[in-house]
């Protein structure tokens, strides 16, 4: 497979150390993406084990199946939202798994494909759907949602302090012309902000793009639903790893594990989230904002 089609798995060693996969086990990769984590898990659970790889993006599953070809027969790929975790396991006749990993958000493969419309840097259609069979696109959201709704989305899912200005400018601009591309949106955001973008550490449109992506894909709702299913989905002593890339996701993982602990269902293995360090931070920029939390079913 061409290197450009491979996604560099984040915190791989740490995930493997926590899950400690062994031959014969059933492990769920709820966000299989480019199958970086799954490949290493399969090395450890075969012979005899089974990896269940979930992704709501059909294209991701196609690439994953190519990468995992050497393990044919030891994995099943499921094209669904991971919020249906309980149903997915039930349909497969699996009562409980020996480990589950979530590596949230989008992959670098999705980010780099301009056609998918996730990227601020590569101009493309305003799309941002992980599941391309879904109706709602970023273009619908940006052109049809009311100013108050846009403003709330950018504030709550982007944690962007200039949410009001940005929403107002979007609504003004779309009166003249439909906003259709990521470059158009990024330009509108830049023009709505008070300072030169040179003052920002990240691209000034990053938070707004994140907010729109989260809303289009109902990311936070899906994470909460899937995590709620963990006590039922995990064997005793089985572990779950959640890698998140922004504070909203991390908060959901942290609070859910905490609640399970209070209910006597879970042991929390990470007092503070584990973060990438050293060489990984240098070689994989995506790892810089990654936070890993792990829990163990009691």
Ligand X SMILES: C[S@@+](CC[C@H](N)C(=O)[O-])C[C@H]1O[C@@H](n2cnc3c(N)ncnc32)[C@H](O)[C@@H]1O
Task: Show the binding pattern over residues 201-240: x = contacts ligand X (CB under 6 A), - = does not.
Answer: ---------------------x------------------
Q: Which of 26, 85, 130, 234 binds ligand X (CB under 6 A)?
A: 130
Cis peptide bond N-terminal to 47, omega within 30: yes
Q: Cβ of residue 148: shortest distance to ligand X, in angstroms?
A: 27
Q: Which of 37, 116, 213, 215 binds ligand X (CB under 6 A)?
A: 37
Q: Which of 81, 244, 256, 270 binds ligand X (CB under 6 A)?
A: 81
Phi first, then psi: give them for residue 297, nearest 5 degrees. -70, 130
Task: Check residue 117 for interaction with ligand X (CB under 6 A).
Answer: no
Q: Kindly tell me the sign of the dihedral angle through the C-alpha atoms of 278, 160, 9, 44.
A: positive
Contact 122, 71 (CB under 8 A): no
Part of the chain binding ligand X (CB under 6 A), chosen from 55-63, 91-99, 132-140, 191-199: 55-63
Task: Check residue 56 for interaction with ligand X (CB under 6 A).
Answer: yes
Part of the chain binding ligand X (CB under 6 A), chosen from 18-26, 104-112, 162-170, 178-186: 104-112
- CB-hemisphere CA count at 13 Å for 11? 27
Query: If binding means CB under 6 A, how many residues of this protein chain bind ligand X?
Result: 22
Q: Cβ of residue 98: shortest distance to ligand X, in angstroms?
A: 18
Q: Which of 14, 16, 26, 36 binds ligand X (CB under 6 A)?
A: 36
Task: Check residue 99 for interaction with ligand X (CB under 6 A).
Answer: no
Part of the chain binding ligand X (CB under 6 A), chosen from 52-60, 179-187, 205-213, 257-265: 52-60
The pair of three-digit structure tokens given for residue 242, joined into one six-digit string: 């959640």
Q: Cβ of residue 57: shortest distance to ligand X, in angstroms?
A: 4
Task: Check residue 292 for interaction with ligand X (CB under 6 A).
Answer: no
Q: Cβ of residue 150: shortest distance to ligand X, in angstroms?
A: 22
Closest alpha carbon to 212 in 236, 243, 188, 242: 188
Complex with ligand X: residue 14 or 173, whichever CB lies closer: 14
Q: Cβ of residue 85: shortest distance to ligand X, in angstroms?
A: 9
The pair of three-digit structure tokens given for residue 135, joined into one six-digit string: 């109706």
Q: Cβ of residue 247: shortest distance to ligand X, in angstroms?
A: 17
Q: Cβ of residue 84: shortest distance to ligand X, in angstroms?
A: 8
Chain residues binding ligand X by CB under 6 A are 7, 9, 31, 33-37, 54-57, 60, 81-83, 103, 105-107, 130, 222
């Amino acid at each position: 497979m061409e290197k450009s089609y491979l996604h560099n798995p984040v915190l791989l060693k740490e995930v493997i150390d926590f899950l400690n996969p062994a031959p014969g086990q059933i492990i769920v990769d709820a966000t299989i993406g480019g199958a970086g984590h799954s490949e290493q898990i399969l090395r450890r659970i075969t012979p005899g084990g089974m990896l269940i790889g979930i992704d709501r993006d059909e294209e991701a599953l196609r690439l994953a199946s190519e990468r995992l070809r050497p393990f044919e027969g030891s994995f099943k790929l499921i094209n669904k939202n991971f919020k249906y975790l309980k149903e997915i396991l039930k349909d497969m006749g699996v009562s409980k798994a020996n480990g589950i990993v979530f590596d949230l958000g989008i992959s670098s493969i999705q980010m780099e494909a301009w056609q998918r419309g996730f990227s601020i840097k590569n101009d493309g259609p305003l799309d941002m759907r992980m599941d391309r069979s879904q109706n709602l696109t970023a273009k619908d959201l940006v052109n049809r949602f009311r100013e108050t709704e846009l403003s709330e989305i950018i504030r709550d899912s982007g944690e962007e302090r200039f949410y009001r200005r940005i929403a107002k400018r979007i609504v003004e601009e779309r009166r003249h012309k439909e906003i259709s591309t990521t470059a158009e949106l990024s330009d509108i955001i830049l023009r709505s902000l008070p300072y030169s973008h040179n003052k920002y550490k990240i691209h000034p449109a990053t938070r707004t793009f994140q907010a729109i992506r989260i809303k289009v894909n109902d990311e936070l709702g899906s994470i909460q639903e899937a995590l709620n299913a963990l006590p039922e989905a995990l064997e005793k002593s089985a572990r779950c790893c959640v890698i998140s890339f922004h504070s909203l996701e991390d908060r959901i993982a942290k609070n859910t594990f905490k609640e399970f602990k209070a209910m006597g269902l879970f042991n929390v293995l990470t007092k503070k989230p584990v973060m990438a360090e050293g060489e990984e931070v240098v070689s994989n920029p995506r790892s810089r904002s990654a936070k890993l939390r792990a829990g163990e079913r009691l």
